[in-house]
Structure 1
Amino acid sequence: MRTSTLLTSARFAKQGENPVVVALPHTWNALDGQDGGNDYWRGIGTYSIDLPDPTEGKKQYIEFRGANHVATVYCNGRELGTHKGGFSTFRYDLTPAMKPNGNVLTVVVTNAASEIYPQAADFTFYGGLYRDVNFIEVNPVHFDLMKEGTDAVFVTPRGSGKTRVDLFPVGAEGCTVNVELKDAEGNVAASGSAPAEPHTVVKMDVANPHLWDGMADPYCYTAEASIVKDGEVLDTVTVTYGYRSFHVDPNTGFWLNGKNCPLHGVSRHQDRQDKGWAISKADHEEDIALIKEVGANTIRLAHYQHDQYFYDLCDHTGFVLWAEIPFISQFMPGKEAHDNTISQMTELIAQNYNHPSIFFWGISNEITIGGETEPLYRNLCELNALAKKLDPSRLTTMAEVSMVPMNSEHVYITDVLSYNHYFGWYVGDAADNGPWLDKFHALNPDRCLGVSEYGSEAVLKWHTVNPENHDYTEEYACQYHHDMLKTFATRPYLWSTHVWNMFDFAADARDEGGVRGRNNKGLVTYDRKIKKDAFYIYKAYWTTEPMVHVCGERFVDRAPNERIVTVYTNCPEVTLVVNGVEVATQPAVDHAVVFENVALNDGANTVTAKAGDVLGNTITLNGVAEHNYAYDLPEGNEAANWFDDPAARAARKPLEYPEGYYSIKDKIGDLMANPETAAIVKAALAAATTGGAMGAMMKKDDKAEGQNAMGDFFMMMRLTDLIKMAGRAVPAGAKRELNEALTKIKKN
């Protein structure tokens, strides 16, 4: 029978340095990948790992659950192979290189720039052996451990109970393959067998299967497959699977087992503060618990293959998953890059085929940022066809960047699609989301549309009672997310919505909102210790167990004009209690209650909200005479994003935006409506480069109604949004000159 030994330590050295002992899993970017500056170390690291002595009569394999980006493996100096791709499981046969004792594994890993995806994206690419490494021994007759990193047992269940199991034994001439399908209680629901062949197929029927029904009832079966010869069991593999049926309707969204099941959820990155990607099972479990608490029923696992343990947790918790490959942001047209998209998609599907929680294969994310080209389109079509060939039982999808026109050929590649829209953060206003979605739905009534990303930065130290876009306050994030939830609630045609992001995550190129090296759009902080106030508006919308949450715990000092208390709840009304005295009861409107002009004493006050017997949290607010300016983001603290030019971020005197005059803060549509400001803007755009995504946005094509989507997106943007996204396309000092020219023109 097979055995697996977890390898927990190694000797590690960066290129040119002396080795040190490290614990596995390990990443060399745990600290410098999160501190900002876009200078985390990307290079070659070498691991030396002592292996257990081999067992006579067995075969030995080494298994890596994740090594980023490229890993070349040696045993006792003998090269075994190179794996390209940082997120999937891969194995090598150690047997020909093994000695009776004293075996050493050497793994050379690099996260340096290459033709392996991803190479440009808004997150840190942590290098190292950051997932489990296992030493495996098996009988020479076994299920193929070299079958694309899988268990070589693939179960295809139908909701009716019909079940096909594809198995790939090796060295099994004259053997029999037996399969038992067991329910969650361990009872045998069906069994079958077949003579062992390199590709063995066993078909069975399970009568009246207990369905996997999402969060309501994530019921799982197991398939236990064995290779037997002359009554002796030579190898056994057990995999989890589930019975369910589903479809997506362009007007009513997602359906599971014949019931309409609107998908509302989050996206998740796998990293943790001070750990990077080298996280534990307990970390995965905490993430699952927090996502379940907020009331999500779906997760988009961005932007790469996640740990198998996390998929297992989702199987048994009931989340509907979107799993994708890191074909993201920067299209690389070379053959190596193309082949890497194919291998990563193949491994993603093969290694996750049995998970009942996975419903959608994602082929790319925002890959048209650099423009829509024929080679890119062909690559996407090939990936979609590959996914449909490898797994016809699931649907394909992709996350489009906002600028992709409503009738672009890219919109029609996958079975369903979603857009990453940041109206209300990077561009325009939150109110722009609904009209855009409605227009797309009207133009493409047969396409199933979702929202794969939307979000707002929230840094816990900034606060205001007058929130504005890009003030980085918790209050603006709450307003934005509440607006988005109201938008989604009236649009049942959306097949899914995924918040960006469940957790803050590392993006070493960022310097934004007073925080370096981090994307702060999470509903929960990077260390998972604090649930931001926006977390609770989602909980109010998505959960049924009575809850009450008082916002503003970190907005402690309140001047007389700041004494507003917002409460989120799924109860019909809320009573506010201040210093032990009930002061008001108000009905909830869209899961929120706003108490204005709350009387506070000088100094500390206890504020609690309750709904009947349901008590919310108690916060402390200080009554103060004047506004606490420590809550304000300092002037001139401009965002530095992963796509910005560092040279354009030099310190400068803050720009001025006089009341009643145009400025770069105005929407491009409003600026273009005035002949004087339109001339200034057109001249500025003409001076900028017209290549890539910026060039595409600057060229409005009126040939077809759908192409106006590009123009619509362009007109929604504030000029500051366009300047920020343009990065190197905007010459140094041009932003200031443009603003000064516009502020001389008075608004009507």
Structure 2
Amino acid sequence: MRTTTLWNDKWIFVKEGKKQEISLPHTWNAVDGQTGPEQYYRGTCIYEKTFGRPVFNYGERVYIEFRGVNSSCKVFWGEKEIAAHDGGYSTFRVDITDFLQDENLIQVHVSNEPNGDVYPQRADFTFYGGIYRDVYMVIVDEKHFDLDYYGTNGLYVTPRIIGDDAEIEIKAYVNGGDSVLISVDGVSEQKFPVMEIDGRKMVHGKFMIADVHLWNGMADPYLYNITATLFDDEKECDRIYDRFGVREFSVDAKKGFFLNGKSYPLHGVSRHQDREGVGNALTRKMHEEDIDLILSMGANSIRLAHYQHDRYFYDLCDEKGIVVWAEIPYITVHMDAGRENTISQMKELIVQNYNHASIMCWALSNEITLQGITEDLMENHRILNDMVHEMDPARYSAMANLFLLETDSPLVTLPDIRGYNLYYGWYVGEMEDNDRWFDEFHKNHPDVAIGLTEYGADAVIDLQSPKPEKGDYTESYQALYHEHMLEMFAARPYIWGTYLWNMFEFAAAGRNEAGDPGKNHKGVITFDRKQKKDAYYIYKAWWSDEPFVHLCGRRYHDRIEEETEIKVYSNQKSITLYVDGEKYATKNGEHVFKFKVTISGTHSIKAVSGIFSDEMEIKKVSEPNPLYFAPDKKVKNWFDVPAGIEEKEGYLSINSTMAEIQAVTEGKAIIDHIMASMKKETAGGMGEGVRISEAMQQMIARQPLVKLLQQGGMDTDSEEVQAISAALLKIRKI
């Protein structure tokens, strides 16, 4: 019978000729992948392990199982290459039986170097190199459940609800034996014969569960335990264990998401798997902490971006009742030579995770149209979409689309469901443009189910402002942004799901922003998981039933204004504010409670609702605290006095909207010149073939030119902007 042994200890890691003994999981980018582009190492390193001949019986096979090696690797036995794998986020196995000696040396050459055929290659997150998940030695009988097909465990369970009962379809792939006994705890035990179909040995059968206990999301995430035992005549050859849940997902273009036939709005977050000082070499305890933090905010769905996550994390989602969006790292830039890799990564994602009750869709790609749509890209998506439906007709195919993708593109409606990644109110436009975009989409495409798969605003937790504005990287603006987004969702029940980008800060080695390089700061919890930003609590106020009171702005301690705003987030209906121990005011409402307080020294502030309370201290100062402002010159500090913008009656200016300027021939020529210049300066520009959507065009048309210049990183005091201003002041308005 099968034995599985953790094989993480006593590895030698070799980087640029230097050796050190390590234990797995391990990544060589745990530090440099989080500190900005200058130090980030992308290359090839070697992991090697010396070991004696394991104890196993004649006729048994010995496999080494790798749960995650990023991103490509070759396995050597001495000088001989015995296996290779491309794709850094999935399980693969190597049969070493025929190579074993009394003393053995295995080497794994691992590369995260750039290439043209293995995804991902360009994305806003760090591609950590290493053997960063667990490794196991698996010893099995020569007749066993399939271990050689894309990392599968060989067992597939498909439940279908029929009234109060459920039909359970079983498929199990084997490489020998004559029958498989399927046992479901307390329900059924049946033996099915092995047959050969399309060249593969398998069993295929069905049985019923009467009065089935449904997997019902977070309210009741019930799972059935299943055991499959392979027999050869009377001999028990192999045994595997798994779990499954019986549930039904559906999406309605007008009413949103449904679980088991009942409306179930998806309040989702996105998650990257890495954390500070660890990279992606997470322990089980870290995975558990992540899911507990997500649940504490009240989320009931997770987009596991942008790749296959650890098997253990999917297990946790099953157990907790979280609905999961699963995807492959086919992201940002389509590579003509990468098609086979997208196919293999999708097969691995599906076969390795098929039995997880939590997974509701297999996503084909993310923001893949950055450089336009080619026929090769379209064909790649058609192949993946058809493959998803063939391999798993019970789940949805899905896509997350770049906001620039035209909503009438055939790519939008190719998969069963889709979302857009919209950043109005951060990178472009204003918060309200999110509302307009969804209203327009739903009006023009009422029968197309639409979700919001990314949205967010960066916030470095120490940056603060009493007058937050887009682009300032303050905790204050991020909170305002998410206040608006939650109100927007509540008014549009047809949005089948929303996924906050991101639950946690994560490493993006190419970034260097706001004085804290190497990170994407959109997380509502810090990279080390130790601090919750104010925005975390506005979600808790909307989504969680756990009573709480939270005072915003506790990190904005030193305040220069004489009258300051005290803001409280809570899921209670009434908040009483105390200042210096004295009752100040009581307000009734929902989610957000605001008070104006005059300050003159150091004050204690306390917010109370019944037995729930929160306290902080603030102080009136005469000069702004410089620690509250980003050193990056592109970030405009709230205390800066803006340069005077000259205007002349009847003439254009940089305060005029884009529509006003483009309505005049001379003005349009200036805009065309500016846009061409910006495009040249933008690394990896949008490329030919990308059309700006109608909603995007309307949003741009409403914007004053000065805002777009600021978003493009131009200083309004610069000579270039002053020259644009002077030119516009000579052109009469229409």
| TM-score normalised to structure 1 length | 0.90
CA contact (8 A) 1:191 1:204 kept: no
Q: In the alignment, residue 615 of structure 2 is paired with which amino acid?
A: T
Could you list the per-position Cα deviations for residues 577-614 of structure 1 after superposition, in whole angstroms to 9, with x for gaps in the alignment?
2222221101224x100011x244523x2212111222
3-state SS of paired residue (1:593)? strand
Which sits farther off after the overlay, 103-112 or 489-498?
103-112
Number of aligned residue pairs: give it: 710
Q: Which residue of 2 aligns with 1:485?
A: 486
Q: d(CA) in 1 for partners of 2:429 and 2:660?
A: 12
3-state SS of paired residue (1:493)? coil
Match of 2:76 among 68, 71, 74: 74
CA contact (8 A) 1:432 1:716 kept: no
Q: Which residue of 2 aligns with 1:647?
A: none
CA contact (8 A) 1:33 1:507 kept: yes
Q: Which residue of 2 aligns with 1:622?
A: 619
Match of 1:712 among 698, 707, 713: 698
1:489/1:219 CA distance change after superposition, 3 Å: same
1:133/1:557 CA distance change after superposition, 3 Å: same
Q: d(CA) in 1 for partners of 2:126 and 2:653?
A: 35
CA contact (8 A) 1:569 1:588 kept: no
Q: In the alignment, residue 528 of structure 1 is paired with which amino acid?
A: R
Q: d(CA) in 2 for partners of 1:215 and 1:520?
A: 29
3-state SS of paired residue (2:142)? coil
Give the drift of 1:619. 1.2
* Aligned: 1:170 with 2:175: yes
Q: d(CA) in 1 for partners of 2:42 and 2:706?
A: 32
1:562/1:599 CA distance change after superposition, 3 Å: closer
Q: d(CA) in 1 for partners of 2:140 and 2:505?
A: 42
3-state SS of paired residue (2:540)? helix
Q: d(CA) in 2 for partners of 1:379 and 1:149?
A: 23
Q: Which residue of 1 aligns with 2:644?
A: 658
Match of 1:280 among 262, 277, 283: 283
Could you list the per-position Cα deviations for residues 657-705 of structure 1 after superposition, in whole angstroms to 9, with x for gaps in the alignment?
42455887876445435665433112333566699864569966xxxxx
Q: Which residue of 2 aligns with 1:743?
A: 725
CA contact (8 A) 1:663 1:739 kept: no
Could you list the per-position Cα deviations for residues 491-512 of structure 1 after superposition, in whole angstroms to 9, with x for gaps in the alignment?
0000000000000000011111
1:514/1:213 CA distance change after superposition, 3 Å: same
Q: d(CA) in 2 for partners of 1:77 and 1:241?
A: 43
CA contact (8 A) 1:11 1:19 kept: no
Which sits farther off after the overlay, 624-633 or 153-162?
624-633
1:555/1:190 CA distance change after superposition, 3 Å: same
Q: Which residue of 2 aligns with 1:322?
A: 325
3-state SS of paired residue (2:281)? coil
3-state SS of paired residue (2:518)? strand
Q: In the alignment, residue 162 of structure 1 is paired with which amino acid?
A: E
Task: Report 1:124-523 matches (<5 A).
Answer: 124-160=126-162, 161-172=166-177, 175-182=178-185, 188-197=186-195, 198-334=201-337, 337-523=338-524
CA contact (8 A) 2:214 2:247 kept: yes
Give the drift of 1:453. 0.4
CA contact (8 A) 1:47 1:108 kept: yes
Give the drift of 1:202. 2.4
Which sits farther off after the overlay, 409-418 or 194-203?
194-203
CA contact (8 A) 1:680 1:741 kept: no
CA contact (8 A) 1:697 1:714 kept: no
CA contact (8 A) 2:146 2:173 kept: yes
1:361/1:668 CA distance change after superposition, 3 Å: farther
Q: d(CA) in 1 for partners of 2:74 and 2:712?
A: 38
Q: In the alignment, residue 461 of structure 1 is paired with which amino acid?
A: D
Q: d(CA) in 2 for partners of 1:132 and 1:735?
A: 54
Could you list the per-position Cα deviations for residues 461-512 of structure 1 after superposition, in whole angstroms to 9, with x for gaps in the alignment?
2111111100111110011000111111100000000000000000011111
Which sits farther off after the overlay, 109-118 or 712-721?
712-721
Q: d(CA) in 1 for partners of 2:498 and 2:505?
A: 18
* Aligned: 1:567 with 2:568: yes
Q: Which residue of 2 aligns with 1:631?
A: 628
1:525/1:210 CA distance change after superposition, 3 Å: same
Match of 2:671 among 632, 656, 681: 681
CA contact (8 A) 2:14 2:47 kept: no
Give the drift of 1:455. 0.3
Task: Report 1:578-589 matches (<5 A).
Answer: 578-589=579-590
3-state SS of paired residue (1:49)? strand
CA contact (8 A) 1:155 1:163 kept: yes
Give the drift of 1:559. 2.6
* Aligned: 1:2 with 2:10: no
Q: d(CA) in 1 for partners of 2:549 and 2:660?
A: 41
Q: d(CA) in 1 for partners of 2:658 and 2:126?
A: 33
1:511/1:562 CA distance change after superposition, 3 Å: farther
The alignment's C-alpha RMSD in Å is: 2.6
Q: In the alignment, residue 125 of structure 2 is paired with which amino acid?
A: F
3-state SS of paired residue (2:510)? strand
Give the drift of 1:147. 2.3
Q: d(CA) in 2 for partners of 1:553 and 1:734?
A: 32
3-state SS of paired residue (2:34)? coil
Q: In the alignment, residue 161 of structure 2 is paired with which amino acid?
A: G
Q: In the alignment, residue 473 of structure 1 is paired with which amino acid?
A: T
Q: d(CA) in 1 for partners of 2:324 and 2:224?
A: 18
3-state SS of paired residue (1:33)? helix
3-state SS of paired residue (1:364)? strand
Task: Report 1:24-43 matches (<5 A).
Answer: 24-43=24-43
1:52/1:421 CA distance change after superposition, 3 Å: farther
CA contact (8 A) 1:330 1:367 kept: yes
1:83/1:207 CA distance change after superposition, 3 Å: same
1:414/1:562 CA distance change after superposition, 3 Å: farther
Q: In the alignment, residue 428 of structure 2 is paired with which amino acid?
A: V
CA contact (8 A) 1:368 1:401 kept: yes
1:373/1:658 CA distance change after superposition, 3 Å: farther
1:428/1:667 CA distance change after superposition, 3 Å: farther
| TM-score normalised to structure 2 length | 0.92
Match of 2:608 among 572, 595, 610: 610
1:102/1:695 CA distance change after superposition, 3 Å: closer
Which sits farther off after the overlay, 48-57 or 401-410?
48-57
- Structure 1 residue runs of 5 or longer lacking an equivalent are 183-187, 640-653, 701-706
Q: d(CA) in 1 for partners of 2:5 and 2:703?
A: 55
Q: Which residue of 1 aligns with 2:595?
A: 595
Could you list the per-position Cα deviations for residues 49-73 of structure 1 after superposition, in whole angstroms to 9, with x for gaps in the alignment?
1345321322100000000111111
Q: In the alignment, residue 171 of structure 1 is paired with which amino acid?
A: G
1:698/1:93 CA distance change after superposition, 3 Å: closer
Q: d(CA) in 2 for partners of 1:289 and 1:67?
A: 26
Give the drift of 1:165. 0.8
Q: In the alignment, residue 21 of structure 1 is paired with which amino acid?
A: E
